[in-house]
Amino acid sequence: MANRMMLNETSYHGKGAIKAVPTEVKARGFKKVVVVTDKDLIKFNVATKVTNLLDDAAIDYVIYDGIVPNPTIENVKNGVNFVNEVGADAIIAIGGGSPIDTAKAIGIIVSNPEFSDVISLEGVADTKNPSLPILAVPTTSGTAAEVTINYVITDKTNARKFVCVDPHDIPLVAFIDSEMMMGMPKNLCASTGMDAMTHAIEGLITKGAWEMTDMLHLKAIEIIGRSLRSSVEGELKGREEIALGQYIAGMGFSNVGLGLVHGMAHPLSAWYNIPHGVACATLLPTVMKYNKAFTGEKYREIAKVLHIVDAEIMTIEAARDAACTAIDQLSKDVGIPTTISELGVKAEDLPKIAEDALNDVCTPGNPRDTTVEEIIEIYQGLL
């Protein structure tokens, strides 16, 4: 089967990238725009950096800021009503993965109203029309939702997070501007950065990986590996590099899928509202070790781009261990929790959570086929 690559039509990178937002809105002839964001980003004057530019350019817009982290079906339905009432012809999504993912679901349903229950969008939905055009401005450096064809919504009633994969949802234009990310507190910067590292590693070893996506994922691992620590310390250069690294990881994994870390992280967020990046980051070092015998030479490649001495010539077992140790160390250095019990996970819930993890859309992409029993064991080892 042929390999498919889908990317934004246009993307802007680097400090000041958001200055191109009004130009793009005007050049594409949009008349009325809904800005999808969350309340904190308005309160802390992050989203305002973009809306000020829209004001200066006299662009007609209204704000929908009702999004919560791990966005819900309700967030999507309310957003659809809002966009329809306003009669918008485009969406500007400003935020982390939560507002950008919600904007994708809203945009898809506005163009494909037969999916207005939201739940029917799970997996690969047969939508017929492209989303209402989305311009995306990330404010965290992790999810790469601005360049992916996925979005993740929480069904609170059934304590489930479900992944939707739909080429029709890809944002038309993305503006990756590190100045939008400078306000992230250390823990958010660390967990979203490790989410990006997880995308790069899972995208590298997933079953559908191929040469072009390997190139992207290895570059992302190299950039994130060398700059996450300084980004977490709030250094400008580090934040700029991570902004790019997470985007490059998104260019890759969006086109090939992920694996067991994401499969196991989604139910943790659905059950306990644990932030996505924290859930992924806490699981990553352990799942990396679980997968290591099923990764061919890939972990050596990771060790090489992380500049581990002699990675090229050591035995494959040593190279795999070196890659796992380096990621474990990075995770510790940026302050990621080492147990899931400190995130509130309860031993008695594990059998049900493990079932949800096995059934997650991301799990089949894992290089090592797994079972409920093995997933329970991994969770238990992290309690």
Ligand X SMILES: NC(=O)c1ccc[n+]([C@@H]2O[C@H](COP(=O)([O-])OP(=O)(O)OC[C@H]3O[C@@H](n4cnc5c(N)ncnc54)[C@H](O)[C@@H]3O)[C@@H](O)[C@H]2O)c1
Query: Residues in the site for ligand X, rule: CB under 6 A?
Result: 38, 40-41, 44, 46, 69-70, 95-98, 101, 139-140, 142-143, 145, 148, 150-152, 181, 183-184, 188, 192, 195, 276-277
Query: Closer to ligand X at the Cβ: 97 or 245?
Result: 97
| Consecutive H or E run containing 371 | none
Tokens 């002699």, located at residue: 310
Q: Is 101 in the site for Fe ion (CB under 5 A)?
A: no
Please count the CA atoms within 13 angstroms of the CA of 20 that sit on its side-chain side. Answer: 18
Cβ–Cβ < 8 Å for 131, 104? yes
Q: In this structure, what token pair is assigned to residue 297?
A: 């030479």
Q: Is 222 in the site for Fe ion (CB under 5 A)?
A: no
Q: Is 202 in the site for Fe ion (CB under 5 A)?
A: no
Report what 97 binds from Fe ion, ligand X, none; CB cut-off 5-8 Å by kind. ligand X
- Residue 57 carries which side chain, given as an amino acid letter? A
Name which of residues 309 to 348 contact Fe ion (CB under 5 A): none
Shortest gap between Cβ of 273 and ligand X (angstroms)?
Answer: 10
Shortest gap between Cβ of 195 and Fe ion (angstroms)?
Answer: 4
Report what 41 binds from ligand X, Fe ion, none; CB cut-off 5-8 Å by kind. ligand X
Report what 225 binds from Fe ion, ligand X, none; CB cut-off 5-8 Å by kind. none
- Whole-angstrom distance, CA of residue 353 vs CA of residue 53: 45
Distances, alpha carbon 226 to alpha carbons 185, 219, 233, 245, in Å: 19, 11, 13, 10
| Consecutive H or E run containing 160 | strand 160-165
Q: Is 38 in the site for Fe ion (CB under 5 A)?
A: no
Shortest gap between Cβ of 369 and ligand X (angstroms)?
Answer: 23
For residue 3, the 8-state DSSP code is -
Query: Closer to ligand X at the Cβ: 112 or 254?
Result: 254
- Whole-angstrom distance, CA of residue 284 vs CA of residue 356: 18
- Residue 198 carries which side chain, given as an amino acid letter? T
Q: Residue of minimal CB distance from ligand X?
A: 97
Shortest gap between Cβ of 135 and ligand X (angstroms)?
Answer: 16
Query: Closer to ligand X at the Cβ: 95 or 225?
Result: 95
Write each residue from 179 to 198 as x if it is in contact with Fe ion (CB under 5 A), else as -, in one continuous string: ----------------x---
Report what 152 binds from ligand X, Fe ion, none; CB cut-off 5-8 Å by kind. ligand X
Q: Is 356 in the site for Fe ion (CB under 5 A)?
A: no
- Whole-angstrom distance, CA of residue 12 vs CA of residue 293: 39
Query: Closer to Fe ion at the Cβ: 37 or 254?
Result: 254
Distances, alpha carbon 371 to alpha carbons 212, 363, 367, in Å: 30, 10, 13
Report what 74 binds from ligand X, Fe ion, none; CB cut-off 5-8 Å by kind. none
Cβ–Cβ < 8 Å for 89, 133? yes
Cβ–Cβ < 8 Å for 256, 340? no
- Whole-angstrom distance, CA of residue 314 vs CA of residue 152: 40
List of residues contacting Fe ion (CB under 5 A): 195
